[in-house]
Amino acid sequence: MSYAVEGCVATVLAVLAAAWLFRPWRELAVPTIERVDPEQARPGWQGKLRPDPAPPVVAEGRIFCMDPATGFVIDTLEADTPLTIHAKITAAAEAQSALRTASWPKRRQFLRTLRAWVMRDMETLARIACRDTGKTAIDAAFGELLTTCAKLNWTLSNGEKVLRSETRSGNLLLAHKRCTVVHEPLGVVAACVSWNYPVHNMLGPIISAVFAGNAILVKCSEHVAWTSQQIILGVHRCLAACGLPTELVQLVVCAPEHAESLTRDPRLAHITFIGSDRVGRAVALAAAPQLTATTLELGGKDPAVILPGTDLAFFGSMFMRACFQAMGQNCIGIERFIVPRNQTDALVNVVRDRIAALRCGSTLDETRFGTHRPGADAVDCGAMISDARFAELEALIDDAVQHGARLVLGGHRMRHGRWPLGYYFAPTLLTHVTPAMKIAQEELFAPVFLVMSYDTVDEAVGIANSTPYGLGSSVFGPSRTTCHEVAARLECGMVNINDFGISYLNQGLPFGGCKDSGYGRFAGPEGLLGLTRPKAMTEDWAFGIVQTSIPPVVDYPVRDTAKSWTFLHGLVRLAFGTPIERVRGMLGVLRASM
Ligand SMILES: *[C@@H]1O[C@H](CO)[C@@H](O)[C@H](O)[C@H]1NC(C)=O
Ligand SMILES: *[C@@H]1O[C@H](CO)[C@@H](O)[C@H](O)[C@H]1NC(C)=O
């Protein structure tokens, strides 16, 4: 007797131990990858200076990579052609079958390997981005590192919950059915991303696409081909270390005229595009004949509505970062400060001296990420990606001044004493701007602190909604009720109350806009599910025991049409009626079934 009990206990324990040992939910070990450490991003590296004027970025199949802060030539890379793009899609499609069936722990292992890489080599990654875009270490820390880690953290913590098959209850008629939604991978997807955050904009779509089970081609901007190549190297090392095929993630960098080889390819199931609304429309048109789904993340002209009584001195630091983060080359940077007319001077007083004190330069050469080069100034502001839009910016500012705006600071390109080949634009303060001015309507993507004054809150909301765009926004004010009222009236995809851009640090929130800012969302459950195809599935709960059959009264050929009508009439009432209708419906069904 006792032997039998002991035997049972031992068996149960053995089964439990075996289950624990081979537990399918256990996390896999995180492998270590070799460093990606290009010499061009090392402190003190100096390259050959580029010719002046600068050669085109893409010419004759080559991409000319240069540091916009110094003019150093970083590298020359080969551009993709329609032929190589085609081959990359083929390879991605083949590799995707390996991922389709990969377990959640396996997918998480890849993300955790990426995270270990980003955590260990944070500074190198920031330096790579600084070298290629001319941004500062602090801009890189905010825009490349914090954001990427937030995305990894959210996807690791929530991705499986969001993508797991879910059971949905039906109605009374389906009580015997189990109804499920399976979120299947799409296959091969593409992301065409902008240059402003080359590390994050590349890793972000890769994290989501691979976790959802897709292969992905990332088309980077030719301006950041070099950074993108370093990142893809690291990603490939992470994939290989996890035993996944490196072909799952492909980098495409090509001349603009070859981009349609990617966007028109019928093998793509989804395209995420981040960039201007002009190019976004072209991508949607290229994708339409193949019915390829698109998510368009286009321009913005984000307003900050500053309500009467806002503590301007307190929020001054926030306003500065909102405008000058990445020198305004920020999708959700604040492009318009909308302030009560009688607080306009107070706002100008808060920011004028701080803007005047901003120092432009090359973060990699003036500082060593924390340790100053002896005798050098700290750098607040980096370079612009190129000088291609400088003339246009200056013309917009001139136009505004001619129409009554006041230029308090800056307003023009800047020749840097130490880096004459760098692309610098003077931090600018422009006040008395009205919605009718061109500068109040067009996305600047530049370090321009634009002040617009209003008399009533209604007018402020009108100004905020007066552009074709509707991406992000901020509302500043002392009253929570008023802030919420204004937030509800803003036509946009994101609102931050008494803050700026912070919604992006919660990667559980959907990112995207409305109007000319595009449609669809990335980030959050919305973004992750957007990279999957829902498949609706039903089956009997008691599979093989209780099977669904057609009731004889409605079976073909119908024996008695009056009876079958009574039956179905009763059935509709029984399933969907009020309690009394249900009782009557039940009687009808019983009568017809006799
Ligand atoms: C994400 O961050 C939160 C808190 O910051 C932490 O509790 C959680 O464990 C993190 N998730 C993962 C998967 O590391
Ligand atoms: C600005 O004007 C409003 C209404 O006209 C008034 O309530 C407020 O006190 C004024 N604020 C300042 C700082 O003068």
Which residue numbers are catalytic?
Answer: 297
Beta carbon of 386 within 6 Å of any ligand 2 atom = no
Structure tokens at 591: 């009568």
Instruction: Report the nearest atom of ligand 2 relative to the CA of 343.
Output: 13
Q: How far is the CA of 157 from the centre of ligand 1 (A)?
A: 7
Average pLDDT, the chain: 95
HSE at residue 146, side-chain half, CA atoms within 13 A, is 13
Query: In the chain, how many H helices and how many E strands?
Result: 19, 25
Beta bridge partners of 337: 304, 451
Ligand 2, residues 341, 342, 345: which to mutate, most atoms within 8 A of Cβ? Answer: 342
pLDDT band of residue 6 (cuts 50, 70, 90) is confident
Q: How far is the CA of 410 from the centre of ligand 2 (A)?
A: 30
Q: How far is the CA of 575 from the centre of ligand 1 (A)?
A: 45
Residue nearest to atom 7 of ligand 2 (CA): 308
pLDDT tens, 49-84? 999 999 999 999 999 999 999 999 999 999 999 999
Per-residue confidence (pLDDT) for residue 121, from 0 to 100: 96
| Distances from the Cα of 14 to the Cα of 9, 10, 22, 456, 489, angstroms | 8, 6, 12, 74, 62
Beta carbon of 129 within 6 Å of any ligand 1 atom = no
Residue nearest to atom 4 of ligand 1 (CA): 153
pLDDT band of residue 204 (cuts 50, 70, 90) is very high
Residue nearest to atom 10 of ligand 1 (CA): 153
Beta carbon of 343 within 6 Å of any ligand 2 atom = yes
Q: Give the ligand at the shortest distance from the Cα of 346.
A: 2
Per-residue confidence (pLDDT) for residue 170, from 0 to 100: 83
pLDDT higher than threshold 70 for residue 541: yes
pTM over cut 0.85: yes
Per-residue confidence (pLDDT) for residue 449, from 0 to 100: 98
Q: Give CA 126 to chain center in angstroms.
A: 19
pLDDT higher than threshold 70 for residue 322: yes
Q: How far is the CA of 342 from the centre of ligand 2 (A)?
A: 6
Cα distance between residue 232 and residue 211, in whole Å: 17
- Average pLDDT over every residue of 309-336: 97
pLDDT band of residue 438 (cuts 50, 70, 90) is very high
| Distances from the Cα of 451 to the Cα of 243, 267, 405, 438, angstroms | 54, 47, 9, 14
- Average pLDDT over every residue of 481-504: 97
DSSP 141: I
Beta carbon of 156 within 6 Å of any ligand 1 atom = yes
Buried/exposed code over 40-65 (b: 16+ C-beta within 10 A; e: otherwise) = bbeeebebeebeeebeebbeeeebbb
Q: Which region among 142-156, 163-177, 316-330, 350-364 has the lowest average model confidence (pLDDT)?
A: 163-177
Q: 129 CB contacts (<8 Å, ≥6 apart)?
A: 135, 140, 144, 197, 198, 199, 227
Per-residue confidence (pLDDT) for residue 374, from 0 to 100: 55
HSE at residue 243, side-chain half, CA atoms within 13 A, is 10
- Angle made by CA atoms 531, 113, 65, in degrees to the nearest 5: 75
CATH code of domain 23-298+526-535: 3.40.605.10
DSSP 239: H
Cα distance between residue 14 and residue 17, in whole Å: 5
pLDDT tens, 379-398? 999 999 999 999 999 999 99
- Average pLDDT over every residue of 330-359: 97
CATH class of 303-516: alpha beta
Residue nearest to atom 10 of ligand 2 (CA): 342
Q: Give the ligand at the shortest distance from the Cα of 478.
A: 2
